[in-house]
Amino acid sequence: MIFVGICFGLLVVRLFWLQIISHQQYSTLAESNRIAIVPVPANRGLLIDRNGIVIGRNYSALTLEVDASKINGNVDDLISQLSEIIQISPRDKRNFKRALEDSRNMGTFPLRSMLTEAEMARFLANRYRFPGVDVSARNFREYPYNELASHLIGYIGRVSPKDKERMQNELEATKGSQDPYALQGAFLPGIQYVGKIGIEQTYERVLRGVPGYDEVEITAGGKPVRTLSSKPSIPGKNVILSVDIKLQALVEQLYGNYRGAFVAIEPETGDILAFVSKPNFNPNDFVEGIDPATWKELNESKEKPLYNRPLKGIYPPASTYKPFMALAALELNKRKPEDVIADPGFFTFGNHTFRDIKVGGHGMVNMEKSLVESCDTYYYLLARDMGVNMMYDFMKPLGFGQLTGIDLEGEVNGVLPSTEWKKTAFKKPEQQKWFEGETISLGIGQGYNAFTILQLAHGLANVLNYGVVMKPHIANAVEDPFTRQKELTTPKESYRIDLKPENVEIIKKAMMETNKSGTSASSFRTAAYSSGGKTGTAQVFSLNSKTYKHSSTPEFLRDHALFIAYAPNDKPKIAIAMIVENAGFGSTQAAPIARKALDYYIDGKWPKEIPEWKRVP
Amino acid sequence: MEKGALVRLKSLLLQAFSGFDPRLGLIFLVLALISFFVFLSAGQGTPVAVLDQTRNLLIAFMIMWLVSQIPPKWLEMAAVWIYGIGIALLIAVAIFGLVKKGARRWVNVGIVIQPSEIMKIAVPLMLAWYFQKREGIRSGFDYLVAALLLALPVFLIARQPDLGTSLLVLASGLYVIILAGLPWRWIIPVVAIGGIAILLLIVFSGSICAPDVNWPLIREYQKNRICTLLDPSSDPLGKGFHTIQAVIAVGSGGFFGKGWREGTQSHLEFIPEKHTDFVFAVYAEEFGFLGNVLLILLFFALIKRGLAISVNAPTLFTRLLGGAISMIFFTYAFVNIGMVTGLLPVVGVPLPLLSYGGTALVTLGFGAGILMSIHRHRRLVQS
């Protein structure tokens, strides 16, 4: 009996230890055993163009998913076993493995999407063999028009460790904040994708929504039994863009195989109507991780398809700068419209001769003629009379060499030269000094002048808007996906430049005349609406007095064709700046594209040679 | 007329239940009730198992009652036969037994039975019979014969393989031999050697549990069970899963338990064998420390009563048999609870009355019946 008593006593001691002293610990273990927190991702907001066309959306597909933390043993073995019942392409495998590596093996990753019913049935029959592998309906981001507007839309991608860290910080920083888009309280594993570039990146906070989660009781086998509690996800808001995607599509096609940038702005509002960077890439390739071959191709191509040209490419504005110079002359009383100069075809400053493109010169030239015929000598003289800093002071508020503040990340400044600028831009003291000779070519938009096409379009819009500066923007409104209630995000006017309307009208008249009888007349003579324009041709490298011959120059050294335009003349609805890289003259290579773009935007005329626009269902 | 019938019925009933030792019967009844309720919980989703267990409990009570009617003298006479039939069945198992889960333990004799369960009673019966026969003329040689009578079934069961049952049979036989008066100077060295062996096992667990080390006489899975006990966390999802999850279930029960049918560990399939060997984990999770103490007290009372009956028994045979049966109850309860709480290795030992399993229940009913019979017939034999 004593023996029995001792043994049972031992059991009671053990039970006391387990159930009383260590109870808390085992209780926690039992809870974590039974409860799984399943993230419920929020539906990402749509991207919608100004006419209601959806250009970024989600689709739901049956997806084979693997919980990385539950993989026992080798990933390759698991995949090869799975591929016995479900087809898994090398690309699927590669994407999956990279996602695993990027995430340091935490989280659930899609291995194959768009499963057929038959494949799903086959998998479900074999499911017991694959713990941690499951089929679920998963939302994928899709850009239905593929390459179209890729630089503007950008893309989303899997959350990287860096993104995760950033979100973690945001989560803490927004604790108790009133910001409706704050991450506060969100279950971060529910955020699996973030916008990496473009609008997807800028409006990430609005688009992503707030993920929810289900607290699910599960069996030892991982089978859900019941939901204990759940916090529903809040879908992201739709972003309505200012862009006219049909205009964008038209221009992209009109560029053909040419590289370049095209920005169209509605002057009165700052709405970006088109934002073209050619060549493009397909943002759909990036969502689940781009495969190395495509990546290599995109990254190493001489054409630089990943380069956002209107935002980051800086070019000399060339003769498209002349209307702004002319306006400066009027505003600063350096010229009257009727003042005339005699153009011999060149201008000598010190011991350097600046040539006009027209051999023998333009003869007697007033302001309007200087623009219509694009006389260089007129602007050499003007630049000399104004000096670099006066030009700088006038051009700066128009936005040249300044960030426009557009809602895209990575915008560059470009260069609007001044004596001050030169001091900071160069290291050697002898280079820091401004030479008067350097001022001359600034007048024709060459020299140190280097702007983005976005700045050029913005500058034109600012002039057309009589000096009321509207920040260019791609998003117009944020829309609630349920109530369809829109909340405008359009910025108010940034500031006003004191421009005399009559001076603006003089410039507009000259630009109108350019389209009627000047350098761009061949493209615009037949237009049914009034419009203004100015061509430009930017040298890619200095000719050193040799004559330029387009066909004999290597492609990447050929001149860039530039053009700025607007229409209609009275209350312009659209202002355009564009460049066609290495294409030659602005009048022959750029202006025809602008004409067709304006025909469509002003008159709704779609060119015959371009296939009809088809809306993707 | 009617009154007479009632009186007759009353006397009939009295006679029928006179074999029932009220204390033992009451303890059994409480345990059976607990078993029933635990089963309603553990068997959730498997109504067949609940019905089976209920049926088996009733059968066990019937057998208990039946056996309690049998005078121990008959048992003494039948001992050799039962033992002989048991051995024959074990040999039959070895030759044409049914294989389930990799072990050959069952045989079909019209119904499928597990003869090793019979040996749990047959061995003490046989040994008690032998020592009764040799009463007064016993020598050291008798212990050798007893050891051989014990070794045969233990060997047959061990090679089925069924280490758990063979150890239990061995224990039941050893109880008889020890109670028969095996000198302490023989017992102590064995216990000491066993203790030292276990100590060595713990100290060298790292090296001898390496996967490529083969142990003599012991199967791979048995080696794994022992190794897992030494360090359950070494393989939390594999061999150690049973122990870890059972310990979590017991520990998370706390003082009052999670409440009947509220155990998460058991209901979410974290507890393997929750009807059978690990039913205590279900009970402990739902009824807590309080319920466990009650259960252990019940077992303690059961064994105490059994030993008390044995001490007062008239013959050597009944004393040995009663003592051995009581100690078997103890062994079952102790080893099972020890196993579920992670104190002992996972050997397939059921918890008396609570674990699912027809043969085991019948054997228990049989054992309890013998105890009652011994109690009931104590005077009859004396006179």
Q: Do A11 and B304 touch (CB under 8 A)?
A: no
Task: Report the chain B residue with the minimal C-alpha distance to residue A7.
Answer: B334
**In A, which residues are within 8 Å of B270 by CB distance?**
33-34, 219-220
Residue in chain A nearest B241 by alpha carbon: A220
pLDDT, position B12: 72
Residues of A with CB below 8 A from B273's CB? none
- At residue A202, the pLDDT reads 94
Pick the residue of A10, A12, A15, A28 with the most B CBs within 10 A to test the interface with B by mutation: A15
Which residues, 6+ apart, have CB-to-CB distance to A420 below 8 Å? A389
Q: Which of A274, A241, A262, A249 is nearest to A310 (CA)?
A: A262
What pLDDT sits at residue A47?
96
Contacts of A30 in chain B (CB under 8 A): 248-249, 251-252, 264-265
Contact A15 B334 (CB under 8 A): no
SS3 (DSSP) at A135: strand
One-letter amino acid for residue A514 of the chain? T
Q: Do A12 and B247 touch (CB under 8 A)?
A: no
Q: Is the pTM of this model over 0.90?
A: no
Complete domains list, chain A, with CATH? 37-70+84-241 (3.90.1310.10), 255-272+308-472+493-603 (3.40.710.10)
Using alpha carbons only, what angle is made at residue A238 by residues A234 and A240, rounded to the nearest 5 degrees? Answer: 165
Predicted confidence at residue A544, as pLDDT, reads: 47
pLDDT band at B207 (very low <50, low <70, confident <90, very high): low
Identity of residue B356? Y
Chain B contact set for A22 (CB, 8 A): 251
Provide the pLDDT for residue B213: 65
Q: How far apart are CA A250 and CA A597, in angstroms?
A: 7
Instruction: List chain B residues with CB under 8 Å of A218.
Output: 268
Residue A245 neighbours by CB distance under 10 Å: 26
Record: contact A11-B254, CB cut-off 8 A: no
Q: Residue A501: enclosing H or E segment and its boundaries?
A: helix A501-517
**Of A5, A25, A225, which is closest to B251 when you measure between CB atoms?**
A25
pLDDT classification of B18: cutoffs 50, 70, 90: low
Q: Write out the residues of chain B at the interface with chain A, using a CB-CB cutoff of 8 A.
A: 237, 245, 247-255, 264-265, 268-270, 284, 288-289, 292-293, 296, 299-300, 303-304, 307, 327, 330, 333-334, 337-338, 341, 343
Q: Which helix (H) or strand (E) holds A310?
A: helix A309-312
**Nearest neighbour of A4 by CB, restricted to B248, B293, B303:** B303
Scanning every residue of chain B, which has its alpha carbon at the shortest distance from the alpha carbon of A14? B341
CA distance B265 to chain A (A): 7
Smallest Cβ–Cβ distance between B248 and the set A10, A29, A225 belongs to A29
- The whole-number pLDDT of residue A474 equals 95
Which residues of chain B lie closer than 8 angstroms to A217, CB-CB? 264, 268
Residue of chain A whose alpha carbon sits nearest to that of B329: A4
Residue partners of A166: CB distance under 8 A and separation at least 6:
none
Question: Which residues of chain A make contact with B266, given a CB cutoff of 8 A?
Answer: none
Q: Which of A242, A404, A263 is nearest to A320 (CA)?
A: A263
Residue A95's pLDDT is what? 77
Q: Is the pLDDT of residue B232 over 70?
A: no
Residues in chain B: 383
Return the closest-CA partner of residue A243 out of A419, A49, A45, A511: A49
Contact: A15, B292; criterion CB under 8 Å: yes
Strand partners, A109: A66
Residue found by looking up tokens 């096409």 in the block: A453
CA-CA distance, A128 to B359, in Å (whole number)? 33
Low-confidence residues in chain A, pLDDT < 50: 543-545
The candidate with the shortest Cα–Cα distance to A437, out of A400, A387, A394, is: A387
Whether A353 contacts A321, CB under 8 Å: no
Lowest mean pLDDT among A329-338, A467-476, B79-88, B153-162: B153-162
Quote the pLDDT of residue B206. Answer: 61
User: What is the per-residue pLDDT for B226?
Assistant: 66
Which among B179, B187, B237, B248 is the top mutation candidate for probing chain A, defined by the most A β-carbons within 10 Å of its own β-carbon? B248
Predicted local distance difference test score (pLDDT) of residue B382: 46
Band (B383; pLDDT cuts 50, 70, 90): very low
Instruction: Give me the active site residues of A, please.
Output: 319
**Residue A23 distance to chain B (closest CA, Å):** 5
pLDDT at B235 over 70: no
Question: How many residues are recorded in chain A?
Answer: 617
Q: Mutate which of A18, A21, A32 to test chain B, going by most B C-beta atoms within 10 A?
A: A18
Cα dihedral A241, A246, A247, A253, rounded to 10, equals 130
Contact A381, A326 (CB under 8 A): no
The CA distance from A78 to the nearest CA of chain B, in Å, is 18
pLDDT score recorded for residue A252? 96
Min Cα separation B237/chain A (Å): 10
- Is the pLDDT at B114 greater than 90? The verdict is no
Using an 8 Å CB-CB cutoff, list residues of chain A that contact chain B: 1, 4-5, 7-8, 10-12, 14-16, 18-20, 22-23, 25-27, 29-31, 33-34, 72, 217-221, 225
Which ranges of A387-500 does DSSP label H, i.e. alpha helix? 388-398, 419-425, 429-432, 436-440, 453-464
Taking alpha carbons only, the member of B27, B63, B23 closest to residue B360 is B63
Chain B residue with Cα closest to A15 = B289
Helices (H), chain B: 2-17, 22-42, 47-69, 72-96, 115-133, 140-158, 163-179, 184-203, 205-208, 220-230, 241-253, 264-267, 279-311, 316-340, 358-376, 378-382
The H or E element that residue A537 is part of is: strand A532-538
Report the pLDDT value the prediction gives residue A545, as an integer from 0 to 100.
46
The contacts found for A570-574 with CB under 8 angstroms, 24 or more apart, are A570/A530, A571/A268, A572/A267, A572/A464, A572/A532, A573/A266, A573/A267, A573/A601, A573/A602, A574/A264, A574/A265, A574/A266, A574/A267, A574/A273, A574/A598, A574/A601, A574/A602
- Rounded distance between C-alpha atoms, residue B60 and residue B37, angstroms: 17
Residues in B touching A228 (Cβ below 8 Å): none
**Å from A110 to nearest chain B CA?**
25
d(CA A515, CA A371): 11
Query: Do the Cβ atoms of A585 and A342 come closer than 8 Å?
Result: no
Alpha-helical regions (H) of A23-128: 23-34, 75-82, 90-103, 117-126
Judged by CB atoms closer than 8 Å, whether chains meet at B292 and A7 is answered as no
Q: Nearest CB to B247: which of A18, A218, A221?
A: A18
Q: What is the DSSP letter of A126?
A: H
Shortest CA gap A38–chain B (Å): 17
ipTM attached to this prediction: 0.80
What whole-number distance in Å separates Cα of residue A522 and Cα of residue B40? 94
User: Distance (Å) from the C-alpha of residue B329 to the closest C-alpha of chain A?
Assistant: 11
Residue B230's pLDDT is 59
Q: Quick check: B250 and A15 CB within 8 A? A: yes
Q: Which two tokens stand for residue A79?
A: 């995949």
Stronger pLDDT, B303 or B273, i.e. the higher one: B303
How many alpha carbons lie under 13 Å from residue B70 in its C-beta half-sphere? 20
Of B237, B304, B334, the CB nearest to A7: B334
Give the residue from chain A lying closest to B293, CA to CA.
Answer: A12
- Work out the average pLDDT over B279-295: 92
The burial class, CB within 10 Å (0-12 / 13-18 / 19+), for A551 is: exposed
CB contact under 8 A, A33 and B265: yes
